[in-house]
Structure 1
Amino acid sequence: MTRTKATATGFVAVLLWALLALFTVGSAPTPPLLLNTLCFGIGGFVGLVWAWATGSIPQMRAVPLKVYVFGALGLFAYHLLYFSALRLAPAAQAGLIAYLWPLLIVVFSGLLPTEKLRFGHLAGACLGFAGAALIILDGGAGLSTQYLAGYLLALLAAFTWAGYSVLSHLVGTAPTASVALFCLATAALSFPLHLMFEETVLPTTAIGWASIAGLGLGPVGFAFYVWDIGCKHGDIQLLGTSSYAAPLLSTLVLILTGIAAPSLTLLWAALLIAGGAIIAARASIVKQS
Structure 2
Amino acid sequence: MLIALNHGMTQKSATLIGFIAVVLWALLALFTVGTYPVPPFQLNAMCFSIGGLIGLGWIGWTKSWADLKAVPLSVYGFGTLGLFGYHFLYFSALRAAPPAEAGLIAYLWPLLIVLFSGLLPGERLRKLHIFGAMVSFAGASLIVAAGAQFERASLFGYGLALACAFTWSGYSVMSRRLGDIPTASVAIFCLATAVFSATAHAFLETTAWPTAPIGWLSILALGLGPVGAAFYVWDIGVKRGNIQLLGTASYAAPLLSTLALIAAGVVEPRLSLIAAALLIAAGAGLAAYASRQTDK
3-state DSSP class of the match of 1:176?
coil
In 2, the alpha carbon distance for the partners of 1:162 and 1:196 equals 29
Instruction: Return the alpha-carbon distance in structure 2 between the equivalents of residues 288 and 276 of structure 1.
Output: 19
Q: What amino acid sits opposite 2:269 in the alignment?
A: P
Of 75, 78, 102, which residue of structure 2 is paired with 1:67?
Answer: 75
Report whether the alignment pairs 1:253 with 2:260.
yes
Name whichever of 142-151 and 2-11 sits farther off.
142-151
CA–CA distance in structure 2, aligned partners of residues 169 and 189 of structure 1? 25
Aligned twin of 2:241: 234
Alignment of 1:38-187 (within 5 A): 38-139=46-147, 143=150, 145-187=152-194
The runs of at least 4 consecutive aligned structure 1 residues that moved more than 6 Å come to: none
Identity in percent: 63
1:248 aligned partner, one-letter code: L
Matched residue type, 2:282: G
Root mean square deviation of aligned Cα: 1.2
Within 2, Cα distance between the matches of 1:145 and 1:272? 25
CA distance in 1, matches of 2:124, 2:210: 48
Q: Aligned AA for 1:16?
A: L
Question: Matched residues in 2 for 1:179 and 1:51: separation?
Answer: 11
CA deviations over 1:21-65 (Å, ceiling 9, x no partner): 011000110000000000001100111011110122111111111
Shift in Å at residue 170 of structure 1?
A: 2.2
Q: Is the 8 A contact 2:124 2:294 kept in 1?
A: no
The answer to whether the 8 A contact 1:43-1:180 is kept is: yes
- How many residue pairs match? The answer is 288
Cα distance in 2 for partners of 1:90, 1:69 equals 32
Distance between the aligned counterparts of 1:64 and 1:160, measured in 2? 22
Instruction: Return the offset for 1:113.
Output: 2.4
Select which of 226, 243, 268 maps to 1:219: 226
TM norm structure 2: 0.95
In structure 1, what is the Cα distance between the partners aligned to 2:133 and 2:221?
Answer: 32
1:25-40 equivalences under 5 Å are 25-40=33-48
Report if aligned partners of 2:83, 2:189 keep a CA contact under 8 Å in 1. yes
1:6 to 11, 14, 20: 14
Deviations, residues 169-216 of structure 1 (Å, cap 9, x unaligned): 223431111100000000011111111110000112110001001000
1:288 maps to which residue?
295
Question: Residue 37 of structure 1 contacts residue 191 of structure 1 at CA under 8 Å; is this kept in 2?
Answer: yes
CA contact (8 A) 1:67 1:173 kept: no
In structure 1, the partner of 2:3 is: none
Q: Could you tell me how far apart the structure 2 residues matched to 1:259 and 1:93 are?
A: 12
Equivalent in the alignment of 2:4: none
